[in-house]
Chains A and B, each alone.
Chain A
Amino acid sequence: MTILVAYAPAPEGREALKAGIAEALLRKTDLLIVNVSRGHHELEPEELKEVEARLAENGLALTVESSVLADPGDAVVQIAQDRGATMIVVGLRHRSMVGKLILGSTVQRILLEATCPVLSVRTDGL
């Protein structure tokens, strides 16, 4: 029983992490963070400690997981399946039609391929 957050060092990722923590506290489940950005941009250790402390107060655990798969979408879905995640939390940002057509969208792929519910959080609102 765990909630998986797809984290990236961008507003979308932070928003997803916030929602994921809230959701974990609400449901009393552990939290699992998967870093999805290119290269080695991961959550800062201090930030990670802070989240860990907040969860520990409520007796919940935090794990950070990575995958051998190169594509972040596939990695998130794989880890969610592997750990039996109850929910995946992703951050979402506006993408133009052309942008999605040419480049595709990682979030879209997670939404379509995940085998558990996906919570998507918008950063840019209305």
Chain B
Amino acid sequence: MLDSAMAALASLADPSLLLMLLIGTVAGLVMGLIPGLGGTGAVAILLPITFGMEPAQALALLIGALAVVHTSDTVSAVLLGAPGSASASVTMLDGYSMAKKGQAARAMTLAFLSSMAGGIIGAVGLTLAIPLARPLVLSFASPELFMLTVLGVALAAVLSRGNIIKGVSAGLLGLVLGMVGTSPTTAEERFTFGSLFLGDGLSLVAVALGVFGLAEIASRASQRKGQHSNITLGGGWLRGIREWASHWTQVIRGALIGIWAGVLPGVGATAGTWLAYGQAVATAKDKRQFGKGDPRGIVGPESANNSVEAGDLIPTLLFGIPGGVPSAMLLGMLLTYGIQPGPSIITDHLDLMYLIVWSFAIASVLGALFCFLSVKPLARLTKVPFAALAAGLVAIMLLGSFQEGGQLGDLWVMIILGAFGWLLKTTGFPRAPFLIGFVLAIPLERYYFLTDSLYDGLGWMARPGVLVFLAILVLPILWALVKWIRARRRTNLDDGHRDERPEDDESELKNSTWSLAAAGVFVVAFAAALIASTGFSPEARLVPQLVGAAGLIFSGILLGIEVRTALKARAARRTSPGWTPDAGFALKTFLWMTGFLALTAGFGYLIAVLVFIPAFLLVVARARTKVAVAYTLVLYVALLALPSLLPIDLPQGWLQTII
């Protein structure tokens, strides 16, 4: 084991790997600064670049980025009071207060050093998990693996923030979407409606970039003005270092909380950082300074949000169930290389595991170092208005999702799913279970049929491992039920320690006509899946029908609840938010994206970029003409050079096929 760890370290001395790690780190830092991208965006955008690479190089690039996205997201939280990611909003509480007192440098030092330590401790946690889990993982057979995949989707659905029924519905719909394409057991085509393009299934990059990336752009593109603040970096670097060293217990505690939050599917960086903040407050004797610039309020959460990403990798690599959205994409990537996470990665690809560990640790250190060296330019970058960034991001995301299959159909799927993702986001559906369901759909079905053919009847249910997983599956559901009943009876006033923010600030269209419509979409989708699956052979039909039926039940309940709240609102003469300005803006943004795609289909990608970018910048972002021209030219030249540097294809239009 030590041998493979050292061998992996030695392999990192290979210049090409080291270069990839460096590129990944820098890319991750830049993407951490862009609001809304986070780890998901970073992996989704970089994933297409890795398609032509060896697995080791691809992993170095992706892990490098993943390890540091939460290092740089602090910069805008501290300097502008506008967090680069949801999880950095915790740092904002104390960091921004500190910055307002002229001690931004102190806050940054605390944050960067804690992020670094969190990343390293996370990597250590991942290392320790390998020998601990090894005997366990090796004892798993297909029944346990089947239960694990079920558990992965179910836990993600239950533990995600918000309503459980919404989470389960989203997870089940993800499963249905994942079953589009060729059935793993009978090789017949399902839900393809005779289309050859859908026969390969939907592209993971397109789904992830749509549901998360484009949805995020649509909900933020209305921000035309950059954030302006007159906060300067100030001094306090040394003081920050001293304070960081004196709060080392908080750093370790934060990192451990982060790892735990990462291991649980569906509990991501946001919940993990709030947990860390909550415990920092709870264990502090003097609580006066929290929210006004207490170093302990920065150290713990910052350490936690980096270690979450390492914690996410533990169940992903060892059991094959993703702990979060970025790791779900990583899982998808490993599968395309033919590396099956779970038992086989431990027996056959231990070197890759250790490569991931080392990459994570090294990138954490490098990330903090780069942040220290380049705080000033980074701070300037955070002042760019999101609308201006959005133009380039749309172009890059569409190019990225083209790489997997080289088909324009993927891009249309991506825009449709982007609109759907926006609907989910604004109406309070968790999106993580959706993507985790999508990734696990095929493994779930495959393991089920393996189990079914190897064991008679339900005999596999009595295997001890399966029983344990069943218990783990049932417990959180019971727990959630107890909490729900107590909340209804209002007997929960005195309950436990609350670490999560109660308000759901992201989903402003909850309990409106929009969420009613979203529930309707779910019911229709599940019903359609049930009806469409009646035409399949019995073996291909079983799992889709089970999932469809369960989905119909859950989304039916959801629709009932939504109708009831709508009726109540009408009885109370409350006007629910109908067509809000934000919704209008999101629609407009999606229309812009559709226009871009139509241009691409007609005249090719490069020409579409030349038209779309300046138009979007001038009309939507209201940028100055000079800026728009320079922006377009730089992007155009970069895109022109890209295919010769990286294995990337630019979409060709109908025009080029004629010529």
Q: Which of B490-538 contact A (CB under 8 A)?
A: 490, 492-502
User: Does any Cβ of B come within 8 Å of A37's Cβ?
Assistant: yes
User: Does any Cβ of A come within 8 Å of B376's Cβ?
Assistant: no
Q: Are B287 and A74 in contact (CB under 8 A)?
A: yes
User: Does any Cβ of A come within 8 Å of B278's Cβ?
Assistant: yes
Residues of B in contact (CB 8 Å), total: 24
> Which among B285, B494, B501 has the highest number of chain A CB atoms within 10 Å?
B494
Q: How far is the CA of A104 from the CA of B483 in the complex (A)?
A: 13
User: Does any Cβ of B come within 8 Å of A51's Cβ?
Assistant: no
Residue on B with the closest CB to A69?
Answer: B281
User: Does any Cβ of B come within 8 Å of A106's Cβ?
Assistant: yes
B290, B487, B490: which contacts A69 (Cβ < 8 A)?
A: B290
Q: Are B502 and A71 in contact (CB under 8 A)?
A: no
Assuming the contacts A68-B93, A74-B281, asked whether A109 and B290 have C-beta atoms less than 8 A apart, the reply is no
Q: How far is the CA of A72 from the CA of B502 in the complex (A)?
A: 11
Residues of A within 8 A of B288 (CB): 78, 81-82
Q: Are B495 and A106 in contact (CB under 8 A)?
A: yes
Residue on B with the closest CB to A73?
Answer: B497
User: Does any Cβ of B come within 8 Å of A39's Cβ?
Assistant: yes
Q: Which of B279-314 contact A (CB under 8 A)?
A: 281-282, 285-288, 290-291
Q: Are B493 and A104 in contact (CB under 8 A)?
A: no
User: Does any Cβ of A come within 8 Å of B274's Cβ?
Assistant: yes
Assuming the contacts A39-B502, A72-B498, A104-B497, asked whether A67 and B291 have C-beta atoms less than 8 A apart, the reply is yes
A38, A69, A70, A109: which contacts B492 (Cβ < 8 A)?
A: A38
Q: Are B493 and A71 in contact (CB under 8 A)?
A: no
User: Does any Cβ of B come within 8 Å of A61's Cβ?
Assistant: no
Q: How far is the CA of A104 from the CA of B499 in the complex (A)?
A: 13
Looking at the assembled complex, report how far the CB atom of A5 sits from the nearest CB atom of chain B, in whole angstroms. 14
B285, B493, B497: which contacts A109 (Cβ < 8 A)?
A: B497
B274, B278, B290, B487: which contacts A78 (Cβ < 8 A)?
A: B290
The segment from A7-15, A25-33, A42-50, A52-60 that touches chain B is A7-15
Assuming the contacts A68-B93, A70-B498, A73-B497, asked whether A10 and B291 have C-beta atoms less than 8 A apart, the reply is no
User: Does any Cβ of B come within 8 Å of A3's Cβ?
Assistant: no
Q: How far is the CA of A107 from the CA of B493 in the complex (A)?
A: 10
Residues of B within 8 A of A (CB): 93, 274, 278, 281-282, 285-288, 290-291, 487, 490, 492-502
Residues of A within 8 A of B (CB): 8, 10, 12-13, 36-39, 67-74, 77-78, 81-82, 93, 95, 103-107, 109, 113, 115
The 7 A-B pairs of least Cβ separation, nearest first, read: A104-B496, A68-B291, A78-B287, A103-B495, A103-B496, A71-B498, A74-B281
